[in-house]
Every structure is written in C-alpha cells, then in structure tokens.
Amino acid sequence: MSSEPAEDRPPRVVLGVSGGIAAYKACEVLRRLTETGHDVRVVPTRAALEFVGAATFEALSGNPVRTDVFEDVHEVPHVRLGQQADLVVVAPATADLLARAAHGNADDLLTSTLLTARCPVLMAPAMHTEMWEHRATQDNVALLRSRGVTVAEPASGRLTGADTGRGRLPDPVEIADLARLLLAAPTALPRDLEGQRVVVSAGGTREPLDPVRYLGNRSSGRQGYALARVAAQRGAEVALVAAHTADLAAPAGVRVVPVGTADEMRAAMLAEADGADAVVMAAAVADFRPVDLANYKIKKSDADPDPLPLTRNPDILAELIEARRAQRIAARLLVGFAAETGDRDTTVLEHGRRKLARKGCDLLVVNAVGDGRAFEREENAGWLLAADGTERAIPFAAKSRLSASVWDAVAEQLDG
C-alpha cells in the first residue's frame, strides 16, 4: 500500500479470512469492495487457505496474498498492513479468531494486523449456534465491542451439514454495505440501541385487481432494509414488516414479517408496534386499492376498458399515532417517511413540514423523489424533521448512511 494522501487514493481495506466453511463467501465480499473502487489486501489464515486458495484471492483483488509474518520481511507486513489500512474486515470470523483477537494474540499475519490497526475494524462471525452462544464466545465478543470493534450480528439459517440456527455468516452484500458505512462514518455503528425493541416497515404494497394484475409502486424496500440492518447492528431487537421488495436478503439478526397488501401491513404494524421503543414507517404504502377484486383474469376486448373505481387505503402512520394517543398501543417514538416532489408554489421541504404538523409523529424523514432519486437507488438524501422544530439535512449518500442518521436521532430521543 502506498503512502499517497488519503484524498488521492482509493480506500485501503484489509480483508481477513479465517478458517471456516463460509470462507468461500469472502470472495463475494472481496468482489463487491473491489468493484466499488476499494484497494483490498486479503490476509487469510492458513486454515482459510484449506477452503479457498491464494490464487483466487489474488485474482479477485489484484494484490498478492500473505499469511505469514516471515513473508517479505523487509516490508514489515505485520505492522504496515494495519498501520496503513482505512478499514479491516474479517469475514468469516470464527470462534477461534474472535478469541485470539480478544486476547491480543499475534501468532500469524492476520492477528498481528489486528493489533496494529488504528482504523475501524468490522468482524462478521460465522460458526455453529452452540459455539456462538457459548459463554466464552459471548465474553470475547463483549470484550472486542468494549474496545470499539464492530462485531456484526450473525444471521440465522442453514449451517454446515443439516444444522440450522443462529451463527450463519451475514450475506456478503450486507457485509460490504456495513464496510462502506464504516469507511464513510467510522462511528455509525455504536451499540446504543441495546435493550430497545424497534419495528421497521419496508417495501411497496400491492393491491390486487385480479389474480394476475395489481396496483403498486416503485419502492424497492432498500431503505427500510437498511434501517433494519443498521438498527440490528446497533444492538436493537428488530422486527421488519416487509412488503414486496427487490429480492433483498433478510438482514442478519432481524425478524422479518412478510405482508402483501396495505391492509395486511396495517394489521402487522399495529400488532408489532405495541410495546416498541421506536416504530419507523419506511414502507411505500399504496394510497388506493380497487373497490372490487375480480376472481378471474380481466380479459382484453376491442372496446375501451371500464373505469376502475378506487378507494383509499388506510393511513397506517396516522392510525399508529391515533392508537398511541388513545393508549391502545404503547410505542415511545413514531417515525414517518415522506416521499415528496416540489411544485410551482411549494418546495419538498415545505411539504414535509406541513406533513409533520398534520401527522403528529415524533420524527419525519423527507425525501425528494422523481428524476431517478430515492426509489430503486442505492443512495438517498433528505431532511430529518423533529416535532420540536429542529431540522437536519441528510446529505446524498448510501441508504445505510441515512439510516445511521435516523437512528442517531432516535437514540438521542430515547435517551432524553
């Protein structure tokens, strides 16, 4: 790695790979980071090379692979790699690697690099459920987190062999997204939501016309999923009420409640919100639905189609606010999202202020949409408006970065 100024070079990432069956997934993490312009050096353990060969990592990264402190000794790699890195990611991080890192072992190049790194460190655990839940592992994770290391929550699912449970490596897309978030905002993932229960809605509802067709919208669900992902990694217990999304993988450590229509989302949100510390309505709920649902496919004909009568769908956020006001549900904070476009007389921000006053929620995130913004994109921007009149601009960045800004504000209000 060169010594050129940070602003003149791509971000430097050390990707550590420890010896678990999930080591093959590190190749996808590596590919996603290199394709977004990061300079990645892979540092596998000797055990990791039993699963994936060095040639694969070298071909994908374009950089040589080292495992031993005695390779290229004149470059002092066991010190230089950690000193010069902007981020260290370990994926997978086995129980053994977590233990060695927690206790300051430096018996190979990867653990030596972890000791010399002064940049953010992200560890993505992967192991059997019993190993993850063991008191020794949990103590090691707590110790690492107390030192500022981000130890990601593992996913649940199929493990080695026929076993299923918690301890699966998070999806490589999620690991790469968390890595980019820490590069952009090193303090974006504190454990400040531990003990909090949050509910997030995501995706676009679909209102059926007949067995084939539906009314819907362009929401991909990415913003809601990013909110759920960041909340889980900040320690919250998260329920994600998810309508139709762009085939997104469930965020690690998140319970997903699938729904389809606005009525189904309404029922799920009212049930999940009771007792929640924070509820975030990020879903794009269809405003209207057909009055009648055809039980058969509506056929084309030479004549013009009959007008399609529509009726309003419930305003779920308004119902949540009213239910809290009437003490039918207990929810400490209610956060809304408003996708707005400006018009001849009113700006996006002004529309958002009026909506906050009308809705009566605690926080409102206002996004400008249209012209390729917000929907079906990886990035977002907007404003965060609070009921007390404070406003924060959220600059254009990845949706995970906007999510971190939202949870910053939520954590402040919960503390207050």
Tokens of 13: 């990432």
Pairing of strands 197-202, 237-242: parallel
- What is the CA 162 to chain-centroid distance, rounded? 28
DSSP letters of 338-349? EEE---SS--HH
The answer to whether 277 and 332 have CB atoms below 8 angstroms apart is yes
Q: HSE, CB side, 13 Å, CA atoms: give it for residue 67.
A: 16
Kindly state the tokens that stand for 191.
């454990």
Q: Using alpha carbons only, what angle is made at residue 410 by residues 407 and 411, rounded to the nearest 5 degrees?
A: 85
Say whether 161 sits in a helix, a strand or coil: coil
Residue tagged active-site, from 105, 140, 217, 313: 217
Peptide bond into 92 cis (omega under 30): yes
Q: What is the dihedral of CA 68, 59, 40, 32, to 10 degrees?
A: -140
Annotation says 217 is catalytic: yes
First to last CA, the chain: 45
Strand partners, 312: 288
With both helix axes pointing from N to C terminus, report the angle between 172-184 and 26-35 in degrees, rounded to the nearest 10. Answer: 50
Q: Find, among 20, 15, 192, the residue nearest to 114 by Cα.
A: 15
Residue among 173, 180, 154 nearest 233 (CA):
154
Cα separations in angstroms, 263 against 83, 204, 278: 54, 12, 21
Sole residue written with tokens 């055990």:
47
Q: Name residues whose C-beta falls within 8 Å of residue 337's C-beta, 6 or more positions apart in sequence.
A: 223, 280, 281, 282, 364, 365, 367
Which residues belong to the active site? 217
